[in-house]
Amino acid sequence: MKRHWAQKVIEKENGRYLILLLLIPIFFISGCQEAQPGDKPIETTPESSSPLDIITQIVRETRIITPTATPAESQLPVELDIGYVGAFPVIDPQKTASQNGVNLVENLFIGLTNFNHKSNSVEPEFAKSWTVNENSTVWTFKLRDDIFWLRLSEDGDQTPEIVRPVTAADVVTAVHRACQSDTKATDAFILFLISGCQQVFELAEVSEADLGAIGVKAPDDTTVIFTLNKPAGYFLTITTLPLFYPVPAEHIKEYGRDWTMPENLITSGPYQLTSGNLSETRTVLQKNPGWPLPKGGNANIVNIYFFEDERSVVDLWQSKNLDVAPLPTDYVPLFLEDFPTKARLVTGQTVFYLGFNYESGLFQTPQIRRAFSAAIDRQALAEALYDNRAYEMHHLAPPGVVGAPEIDEVGMGFDPDLARLLLVESGFASCQLMPPFRFMVSSLDLSLLQAELIRDMWIKELNCSEEQIIIEQVQFGTLLANTRAEADATRPDIWELGWSSFYPDQHNWVTELLHCTESENRSKRSCNDIDELMRQASQSTDTDERVALYRRIENQLFSDTGETPLVPLYVRGSYFMEHNWVDFVPAHFGGEQYDTYVINATLKELERSR
């Protein structure tokens, strides 16, 4: 019989040197009215009806939601068991920053819109439809009237009580909170697209009149209108963020910062918190019986276990008491050996890349930039640096971004023959005929290792010499400062950086990283037709048109005839352990959607009994 595979990891650690794979620093550049006659309708999916007949009863002037029983319902609830490392998180939609917090917020609160992780598209949630004016600056959302704030009943059972309906005013409250610096909302600057938000954010003291000047209005309970500073088709993607999740103003006023403590919490999402506090390791969510938006999942109860150490997660998963859990890095090799079919690599949305200085004496032409790009074996980098916990990238935007091509489509990969041909076309018959050039990286050991690997590839495929490629390690702040467009003489010829999503839309990638005027433009690109395509894509409200435009943009930037302003290298991922009785589409960005998880309860019970 095999030894516990996790125990083998512990034993092996005693006799070998453990390499700590440090993260490469990531550069984050990263009125009352109905829709007007000139407004353009946005196509949305039909409004879903509830699968449950909701019975409301007056109990101490409190309505109780009880689903009507049906013969097909199972006697036992279907349970989803998930494990995470970390403590019970902050679950304030506008303030949570941890992934554990984002996961809970996603399931406890309704969003203005929903990001569909399967189709990488925006779909209705609280907003059942929307229209936008001709220049994409005024967005009008029509809201559902069957979503309620809920809390557990006072008699101690698990039946939820209706507090009141969720209304458009709750969306306004969310935006007003996020636009005030005292809230310390996560990535609040994203909302500066809304008129008046940045001005309020910069105020030391905020009055009701100041808040009233922000471009979000609720003319009635089921309408919310946003006015933007500029045309923005990508605003729809932004509305999926927790920054827009409705919150109850009167409840926040009553309890202050403690309004999200489990004993005070009221929620509006597909699940309700039934237990969980700062001293417990198990948090239980139960399905909201009045939730009118089924998404295909069947979990009635979600048990979430928070662990202080990674080993406990592994042990509980292997004992079949967890359906899904993150796989700690140190356990990956032996887990893949013992359970190859039960590991899934899920990519995040951070892409690492090499940037080119267009004002360098060497990298002014696209041919030379393409040559150095084609000479890099990205898959070999992923294997050497992350033990295959990364996927090579040939274009910029990673999986899970609206408008991103598939990961294996569009762009130029490793092609040494093409690299040598392009080098000749650039005017250099050999790399050794080029003058020395500076390659700037961060001070991390992993950054140096990556730079040395890439240098060796250029030596092998382009016949460069080691002396030509001057690797400079600097502190990350210096790396950022010396690659800014205004850095002038301190700018290196090539540098390493990374880019992550602030919101999962191509505008946040190609436009906000590479546009000649709408980004920091670290490469100092000159404006051309590609930038005009970026402008068109950013303003369009037609999803199909935006996807087609961004595909053209990625192709014109990163194909074997592209401009190549940078070299996309890879997108990192993390492994998850999952048993064969659970089926789900993971989130590349944002929170996991437990109401999309499907559990084969019969198979789960059978496997656990073995």
Question: Is there a domain that residue 29 lies in?
Answer: no
Place of tokens 């959302």: 141
Question: Is the same domain home to 354 and 299?
Answer: no
Same domain, 559 and 596: no
Residues 281 and 250 in one domain: yes
Q: Is residue 420 part of a domain?
A: yes
CA 23, chain centre distance (Å): 17
CA 465 from chain centre, in angstroms, equals 40
Residue 270 lies in a domain: yes
Query: 414: domain CATH number?
Result: 3.10.105.10
- If asked whether residues 598 and 479 sit together in one domain, one would say no
One domain for residues 319 and 413: no
Whether residue 492 contacts residue 358, with contact meaning beta carbons closer than 8 Å, is answered with: no
Range of the domain at 377: 345-573
pLDDT value at position 281? 79
Residues, the chain, total?
A: 610
Residues 431 and 327 in one domain: no
Number of domains in the chain: 2
Q: Are residues 240 and 375 in the same domain?
A: no
Question: Could you report the average pLDDT of every consecutive run of 10 residues in the chain (610 residues)?
Answer: 40 35 36 40 39 29 48 70 88 93 96 96 97 95 98 75 96 98 94 98 96 98 98 97 98 94 92 74 91 93 90 91 93 91 94 96 93 97 91 96 92 95 88 94 96 97 95 96 91 96 97 96 96 97 96 97 97 95 96 97 92
450 is a domain residue: yes
Q: 68: helix, coil or strand?
A: coil
Please check whether residues 593 and 568 belong to one and the same domain. Answer: no
CA distance linking residue 114 with residue 560, whole number of Å: 36
The answer as to whether 32 is a domain residue is no
Question: Following DSSP, what letter does each residue of 393-462 receive, concatenated?
Answer: -SSSS-TTSBTPPPTTSSS----HHHHHHHHHHTT-SSGGGSPPEEEEEESSHHHHHHHHHHHHHHHHHH
CA atoms within 13 A on the CB side of 12: 13
pLDDT of res. 65: 57
Does 591 lie in the same domain as 529? no
What CATH number does residue 305 fall under?
A: 3.40.190.10
Residues 330 and 350 in one domain: no
Task: Report the largest interatomic distance among the alpha carbons of the chain, rounded to a whole angstrom.
Answer: 87
Query: 530 lies in a domain?
Result: yes
| 175 Rama sector, left if φ>0, alpha if ψ -120 to 50, beta otherwise | alpha
pLDDT computed for residue 16 by the predictor:
32
**557 and 597 inside one domain:** no
DSSP state of 136: S
Residue 25 maps to a domain: no
Whether 44 is covered by a domain: the verdict is no
**Residue 553 and residue 488 in one domain:** yes
pLDDT the model gives residue 132: 97
